[in-house]
Homo-oligomer: A and B are copies of this chain.
Amino acid sequence: MQKHPNLRMTRQRQVILEELRKVNTHPSADEVYEMVRKRLPRISLGTVYRNLEILSESGDIKKLEPGCSLKRFDGNPSEHCHIRCVRCDRIADAPLAPDIEIDVAGLMPADYKIIGHRLEFFGVCPNCSDKTNRDANRR
């Protein structure tokens, strides 16, 4: 019942996966494109998008769909939470995978099938905090 029954491990797909596993920065499609381009200068952005989609459907990576802005991708497909910086929209791993095993089934709207939930934290990253401080001192 897979969408892509006969996947091929092309050089492009391989490199995208490798580069994504190297970092913990949760890059956007465009950032992945820039990373991969250093090794495969002729790769196209369209190919990057297609492969990120395929790799996330196969479970090798995870597509993050943070509140707002653009999608980001995580080379670590295991279950964990994220923190999004409200200033720069970058994403960091949250060092906990809280088991909010909330017993919500009965509380949800009738006949709504609950599949899961997602807990996202937001805040200000160290980098953006610094910027604020610098700006404040300047006045």
Stretch touching chain B among A28-36, A37-45, A47-55, A117-125: A117-125
- Asked whether A123 lies within 8 Å of B114 as measured between CB atoms, the reply is yes
User: How many positions in chain A have a CB within 8 Å of any CB in the partner chain?
Assistant: 37
- Asked whether B96 lies within 8 Å of A83 as measured between CB atoms, the reply is no
A107 at the interface (CB under 8 A from B): yes
Q: Shortest beta-carbon distance, A114 to chain B, in Å? A: 4
Report B-chain residues with C-beta under 8 Å of the C-beta of A129. Answer: 111, 113
Stretch touching chain B among A3-11, A15-23, A98-106: A98-106
A115 at the interface (CB under 8 A from B): yes
- Asked whether A67 lies within 8 Å of B111 as measured between CB atoms, the reply is no
Instruction: Give complex CA distance A92, B104 in Å.
Output: 15
- Asked whether A117 lies within 8 Å of B120 as measured between CB atoms, the reply is yes
5 contacts between A and B (CB under 8 A): A65-B68, A92-B112, A100-B100, A112-B123, A116-B123
